């Protein structure tokens, strides 16, 4: 090229893996009788060994010893990124001393050590209701010891893993509720990533059948709007987490006797600003901070001298239990300080999570 007066820019050089694809794709296609698609979700990866090539890299280790560090999951220190880093550091004249240009032809063939076939991940979304006050959202394990036998995540995912024949899964949701809190109404949006599924095509009817299997398997949870979604669509669920509102129903106890008129003023409070220090009960897993949250509206429902129910519409991320009992003054104001007495929460239900995702289906 140089003799012809043409200079090659770095971008003009074909990557080895691209050249490999150009050669191999037609052969694989012919052998298997199917078209080869570089953007397919089904991926075939081939791991090669070629000792001769590795020997060629050894002189780079002297030029850049910091570039080659052993890693647990790597078979060799001469990874693509490490070699590129070393080549960028070495001077051209030093490189040419060790390596002829153009290089000599290889003497031995390479050996295919392993062939792996993987499907790209599939994403399933829906909304769940939780009816038990003794069920965590995710497995509850403390110091390696399991506290409760199941979780919302497991009750849903075990059936999906079986049907999609996946290796593993990752569960995410729009917020979470405590182990003793029910989630009612239209439910809480969730998404599950199924890793390396063996089956990826499901009709809407089959998804409906799968939803029925999950719902028939437990009376602790129910699932609705179960559907296949894209990876990018899951971002919509996370976007809504902080901005959206949530509606709760709390059963409250007071130490001093109350009359209906003692709590009536709560109904008139709008856009109440709270300052919530990280609750003591979550301090082991959340950083210490003061979070400003808003209670948009409240509606009280008198029960008897020591009990009333409070319906609240709040900013997402508000700690409701702490808003009721005050958490030793860490949440200000709180129901106790507003009523000028000790208050505590006996039961809490999530009535709605106002995230408009995934799309509602005709169930």
Q: What domains can you pick out in the chain, each with its CATH number?
A: 11-118 (no CATH), 122-243 (3.30.70.2510), 246-353 (3.30.70.3190)
Q: Within a 13 Å sphere around the CA of 115, how many CA atoms are in the beta-carbon half? A: 4
DSSP 181: -
With a threshold of 0.85, does the pTM exceed it? no
Q: What is the pLDDT of residue 327?
A: 96
Residues written for the chain: 363
Q: Which residue has the higher pLDDT, 184 or 243?
A: 184
How far is the C-alpha of 223 from the C-alpha of 236, rounded, in Å? Answer: 19
β-pairing verdict for 290-304 and 343-353: unpaired
- Classified as helix, coil or strand, 251 is strand
> Which residue in the list 178, 180, 267, 344 is annotated as catalytic?
178
Kindly state the tokens that stand for 30.
């012919």
How far is the C-alpha of 338 from the C-alpha of 230, rounded, in Å? Answer: 46
What is the tens place of the pLDDT at every residue in 27-53? 989 999 999 888 888 888 888 888 888
Q: What is the pLDDT of residue 53?
A: 83
Q: What is the pLDDT of residue 44?
A: 85
In this prediction, residues 317-345 reach a mean pLDDT of 96
What is the tens place of the pLDDT at every residue in 75-112? 778 888 888 888 888 888 888 888 877 778 889 998 99
Q: Within a 13 Å sphere around the CA of 222, how many CA atoms are in the beta-carbon half? A: 11
344 as an active site residue: the answer is no
What is the tens place of the pLDDT at every residue in 119-139? 999 999 999 999 999 999 999
Work out the angle at residue 321's Cα, subtended by the Cα atoms of residues 334 and 275, and round it to the nearest 5 degrees.
45
How far is the C-alpha of 325 from the C-alpha of 253, rounded, in Å? Answer: 10
Residues in a beta bridge with 228: 124
């Amino acid at each position: 090229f140089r003799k012809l007066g043409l200079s090659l820019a770095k971008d003009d050089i074909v990557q080895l893996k691209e050249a490999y694809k150009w050669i191999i794709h037609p052969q694989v296609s012919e052998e298997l009788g199917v078209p080869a698609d570089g953007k397919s979700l089904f991926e075939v990866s081939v791991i090669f060994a070629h000792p001769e090539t590795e020997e060629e890299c050894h002189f780079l280790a002297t030029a850049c010893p910091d570039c080659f560090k052993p890693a647990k999951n790597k078979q060799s220190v001469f990874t693509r990124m490490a070699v590129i880093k070393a080549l960028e550091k070495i001077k051209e004249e030093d490189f040419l001393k060790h390596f002829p240009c153009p290089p000599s032809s290889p003497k031995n063939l390479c050996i295919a050590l392993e062939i792996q076939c993987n499907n790209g991940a599939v994403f399933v979304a829906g909304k769940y209701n939780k009816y038990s006050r003794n069920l965590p959202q995710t497995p509850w394990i403390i110091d390696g010891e399991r506290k409760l036998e199941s979780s919302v995540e497991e009750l849903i995912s075990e059936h999906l893993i079986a049907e999609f024949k996946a290796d593993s899964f990752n569960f995410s949701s729009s917020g979470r509720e405590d182990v003793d809190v029910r989630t009612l109404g239209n439910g809480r949006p969730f998404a599950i990533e199924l890793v390396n599924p063996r089956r990826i095509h499901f009709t809407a009817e089959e998804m409906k059948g799968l939803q029925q299997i999950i719902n028939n398997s437990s009376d602790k949870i129910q699932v609705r709007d179960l559907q296949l979604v894209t990876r990018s669509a899951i971002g919509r669920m996370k976007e809504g987490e902080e901005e959206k509102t949530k509606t709760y129903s709390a059963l409250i106890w007071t130490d001093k006797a109350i009359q209906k008129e003692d709590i009536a003023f709560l109904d008139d409070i709008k856009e109440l600003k709270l300052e919530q220090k990280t609750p003591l009960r979550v301090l082991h897993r959340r950083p210490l901070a003061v979070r400003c949250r808003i209670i948009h509206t409240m509606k009280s429902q008198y029960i008897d001298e020591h009990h009333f129910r409070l319906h609240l519409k709040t900013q997402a991320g508000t700690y409701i239990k702490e808003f009721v009992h005050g958490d030793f003054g860490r949440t200000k104001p709180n129901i106790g300080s507003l009523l000028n007495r000790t208050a505590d929460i006996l039961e809490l239900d999530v009535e709605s999570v106002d995230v408009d995702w995934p799309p509602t289906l005709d169930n």
